[in-house]
A and B are shown apart, each in its own frame.
Chain A
């Protein structure tokens, strides 16, 4: 009985020692892993031309390019410095059959490029829709402009 106990104890100690040795006998592995990269390029300027209250501009095609390595969600946002009302009526479509969505309610998903180092471009349709604009436009607002920022976030 004592021998059996001794044998069990020694076996356990031996196994524990092996486990400990396995823990200490570490293999060092190294790699230069490039993390997720987000990149975006957008058409720089859009001119809607002449437009009056109650009408909608012609369609403007915007190209948004995913230059990173992951799927992204792109959300357009009016510059915080803009104090006017006109450009709050910008609207967007992903495809022509979609309903137009006002800025602030629109975002678009763009998949990562299909190959490493490649890019993926998605077309978006943009309008200045003043059909529901209820404010007053006093005189002409020539060269009225603001900045629209397209924010890309990981999806």
Chain B
């Protein structure tokens, strides 16, 4: 049933796309990486025609939703944001956006997506955090970021139970003697 609703919603969205209109999802992307790491996220663009993409960044640590505050380039902040800046779309496409950077900090940017024939465009907010890549943080960060938090909990309880059983076993052994 849920799939039918999704299908109807999708058909409706496709129906909304006129020749120059543009629809983008999501409206905001978050990157949380260690120094030197690369993180990729997908965006979906629905439109028809040539699409131009470009990104602008605000001052480091500054978080505002005023577009006029975003006037820096990624090069000025020593950031890397890789994507296809010029694409042709016939209906709907997924686009990969990959982020990396060297300098620790919190960065806010905007990815501007525009159909070249249209007078309107969409801005996707980019929120990026680059953390230090010390040995410890690399270990814990890699483990915690690997979506294995449930496994961590399971591992902990299994280890704890095993330890307790060993203790009980040793206790019983000593008692027999």
Contacts and interface: CB of A to CB of B under 8 A. Distances in A.
Contacts of B150: 23, 26
A32 B28 contact: no
A107 B13 CA distance: 26
Interface stretch (A11-19, A49-57, A121-129): A11-19
B96 to A, nearest CB: 15
Interface in A78-123: 104-105, 107, 116-117
Contact of A153 (B20, B110, B171): B110
B65 interface: yes
Given A16-B160, A42-B119, A149 B114 contact: yes
B25 A44 contact: no
Contacts of A19: 157
B23 A77 contact: no
B158 interface: yes
Given A6-B171, A35-B26, A148 B119 contact: yes
A86 B136 CA distance: 58
Contact of A41 (B26, B120, B175): B120
Interface in B137-177: 150, 153-154, 157-158, 160-161, 164-165, 167-168, 171-172, 175
A151 B157 contact: no
A108 to B, nearest CB: 12
Interface stretch (B32-40, B83-91, B97-105, B121-129): B121-129
A36 B121 contact: no
Interface in A115-147: 116-117, 147
Contacts of B26: 35-37
A9 B24 CA distance: 57
A73 B65 contact: yes
Interface string A3-40: 00110011011001101100110100001101111111
Nearest to B44: A35
Interface of B: 2-3, 6, 9-10, 12-13, 16, 18, 20-28, 44, 65-68, 110, 112, 114, 119-125, 150, 153-154, 157-158, 160-161, 164-165, 167-168, 171-172, 175
